[in-house]
Amino acid sequence: MDPKELPPNVRDDKISEETKKLISSLPSHTDSQGQKLCKYQGCWYYYNTLQGVLNFQSGFQPQDTDIILASYPKSGTTWLKALTVALLGRSKNHSSSNDHPLLYDNPHGIVPFLEIDVYHESSSPNLDNFSATPRLFSTHMPLHAMQETLKQSPCKIVYVCRNLKDTLFSTWLFACAIFKIEPTRSILDSMFKSLCNGTIFYGPFWDHLLSYWRGSFKDPKHVLFMRYEEMKAEPHEQIKRHADFLGCPFTKQEEESGVVDKILDLCSLRNLSSLEVNKTGKVNNVDHKNFFRKGEVGDSKNYLTTEMENKIDMIIQEKLQSSGLNF
Ligand code: A3P
């Protein structure tokens, strides 16, 4: 595949001389698709993504009202973005009308990633598009990668996590779709190995989860920990939790007039994936349609072998032991 067709953050063509020097001193690894990764501050990044992380760390100036949506890839990021846009958009009174931004752009176009989009090329990007408050950003960085930059900032972070088996399964199909390759068992096996030994993009998975899990206990006013499975099982309760945390709780009148249901419906996988913009558009060389698949809990069950499931259960048990977080 022509590297120019890859998502820019996966490549290694935007790194400065200084970053090259830094990379040469870091642990490195090549993934099953032949892309290079390195481990910086405990997290594995593709080289261009590392450049984005460094740009963010040196240049981002938080505003008190900023909101950052965080996740490990393939854990429900697109849904979280759509729900947050819809929640905040209520004040603009377009949650059900035809001018809603979600009808005309993919959630990833509306809420860009800090390290992948906004700070991808520069530590002082033009932020004119973020003149409205609150500014809404997203990230796949673990919390500890942002802590120094966000120090003393009261900005709010919403994290969504998903069970590791479905995350792995979703990652496999998504990666094969963007690399335009057949999703073979051997690719799944190789991703499984990387996931288990932690050497996967934004891994180790457990450190990612734990950084936000612990952060949400240490600072519950500023870090909210959500779970994909709970959002699916009890969407009304979870969206209210989300709205309360963001400081825009639903009023009784809104609840009675069905605003919660309208938002859930607007942001449903069924609705978003049926929109023209999500059937046809692209962001960062990724077809919008690839962000929407089945969105089911336990969908990995028929594809992962018993040994894979047992190993994942063992890892989760070992790594999350005594953290109070379980699956
Ligand atoms: P599956 O591959 O299991 O179907 P991310 O948004 O972090 O990339 O995660 C992608 C996963 O979220 C995919 O899971 C996708 O189908 C699911 N998803 C996307 N939009 C969703 C929505 N509006 N509601 C629920 N799940 C959604």
**Domain annotation covers residue 17:** no
Taking residues 269-278, what's their average pLDDT?
97
- Encoded amino acid at 68, one letter: I
Cβ of 299 below 6 Å from ligand 1:
yes
Taking residues 87-105, what's their average pLDDT?
81
% of the chain residues with pLDDT over 90: 87
Atom of ligand 1 nearest to the CA of 267: 23
CATH code where residue 172 lies: 3.40.50.300
**Domain annotation covers residue 5:** no
Atom of ligand 1 nearest to the CA of 173: 2
**Domain annotation covers residue 4:** no
Contact between 202 and 43 (Cβ < 8 Å): yes
- Active-site position among 29, 94, 108, 140: 140
**DSSP characters over 226-283:** EEHHHHHH-HHHHHHHHHHHHT-PPPHHHHHTTHHHHHHHHTSHHHHHHSHHHHH-EE
Do you find a cis peptide bond into 8, omega within 30 degrees of 0?
Answer: no
Establish whether 140 is a catalytic residue.
yes
Taking residues 137-152, what's their average pLDDT?
97
Contact between 48 and 10 (Cβ < 8 Å): yes
Question: Comparing C-alpha atoms, which of 87, 80, 81, 108 is closest to residue 230?
Answer: 80
Cβ of 292 below 6 Å from ligand 1:
yes
Q: Does pLDDT of 286 surpass 80? A: yes
Atom of ligand 1 nearest to the CA of 292: 16
Cβ of 293 below 6 Å from ligand 1:
yes
Mean of per-residue pLDDT scores for the chain: 95
Q: Does pLDDT of 98 surpass 90? A: no
**Domain annotation covers residue 244:** yes
Number of domains, the chain: 1
Q: Which tokens in the block code for residue 127? A: 């932020």
On whether the pTM is more than 0.95, the answer is yes
Ligand 1 centroid from CA 144, angstroms: 25
Counting ligand 1 atoms within 8 A of each CB, the residue from 69, 72, 74 with the most, and so the one to mutate, is: 74
**Domain annotation covers residue 179:** yes
**Domain annotation covers residue 162:** yes
- Encoded amino acid at 315, one letter: I
Contact between 155 and 68 (Cβ < 8 Å): yes
Domain that holds residue 245: 58-320
**Domain annotation covers residue 181:** yes
What was the pLDDT predicted at 234? 98
Q: Does pLDDT of 93 surpass 70? A: no
Taking residues 137-151, what's their average pLDDT?
97
Lowest mean pLDDT, pick from 5-9, 152-156, 189-193, 196-200 = 5-9
**Domain annotation covers residue 2:** no
